[in-house]
Amino acid sequence: MGLKAQLIRSETNLGDTGVGTVVKTHHYETTLRWTGNSGSGTSSYKSYSRNHEHAAPGKSGPIPGSSDPHFRGDATRYNPEELLVASLSSCHMLWYLHLCAEAGIIVTAYEDCASGEMRENPDGSGEFTSVTLRPHATVTPESDSNKAHHLHHEAAKLCFIARSVRFPVLHEPAITLSSDVHPTRIE
């Protein structure tokens, strides 16, 4: 099993949205299992590991999790902050590929080097202040690179995860024509 949540399809009629459409509600389920009991549980702050596993029904295997090493976590496992950044990156990519397919833009490769910034407050709490996505799409020479670039802006408006967070999700896209050696950044 893995972190990707199981989609339980259900359609709930939330009424007419004003454009004659029915709003659908999707439900997602994951499980988390703490694997960090070193024998004495949480008898002290240093007595336990932050290791855990995320899983969901029907997935190929669990995703190993921990906290950020700054908070006594295991650096070889994914922490919640990395998974949030990855979720935003993945959602953007999936919308972008969808929009490109509909627009006749043929994407042959896609990578993103996303990063997030989190502020830690004096009381130990914290919050993300921004995430920056740096998607680099390679498109066929016949594809309209300006349109390919513009579709990143459209994907940003549609991404379910980005629409659900309360911090800015910034985008620095680059488009490469498959015959180009270097990416063409279009502002």
90 or 3, higher pLDDT: 90
Count of CB atoms within 10 A of residue 4's CB?
16
82 or 14, higher pLDDT: 82
pTM: 0.82
Rounded Cα distance between 19 and 161, Å, is 23
Which one of 3.90.380.10, 2.70.98.40, 3.30.2130.10, 3.30.300.20 gives the CATH number of domain 81-177? 3.30.300.20
Q: Is 153 helix (H, G, I), strand (E, B) or coil?
A: helix
pLDDT value, residue 23 = 84
Count, in order, helices (H) and strands (E) of the chain.
2, 11
For residue 174, the Cα-to-chain-centroid distance in whole angstroms is 19
What long-range pairs does 27-36 form, CB within 8 A, spacing at least 24? 29/5, 29/56, 29/57, 30/3, 30/5, 30/6, 30/54, 30/55, 30/56, 31/1, 31/55, 31/56, 32/65, 33/62, 36/66
* Residue pLDDT, tens place only, 145-167: 999 999 999 999 999 999 999 99
Count of CB atoms within 10 A of residue 111's CB?
12
Mean residue pLDDT of the chain comes to 87
The H or E element that residue 163 is part of is none
- Is it the case that residue 186 has pLDDT exceeding 90? no
Average pLDDT, stretch 1-13? Answer: 40
Lowest mean pLDDT among 4-13, 95-104, 135-144: 4-13
Class of residue 175 by CB neighbours under 10 A (exposed 0-12, middle 13-18, buried 19+): buried
* Residue pLDDT, tens place only, 34-86: 999 999 999 999 999 999 999 999 999 999 999 999 999 999 999 999 999 99
The pLDDT confidence band at residue 129, using thresholds 50, 70 and 90, is very high
- Taking 3-state DSSP, the helix, strand and coil percentages for the chain, each rounded to the nearest 5, stand at 25, 30, 45
pLDDT value, residue 122 = 96
What token pair was written down for 47? 């007595």
Where in the sequence of the chain do the CATH 3.30.300.20 domains occur?
81-177
What token pair was written down for 3? 């972190």
What token pair was written down for 79? 């922490």
pLDDT value, residue 104 = 96
pLDDT value, residue 182 = 52
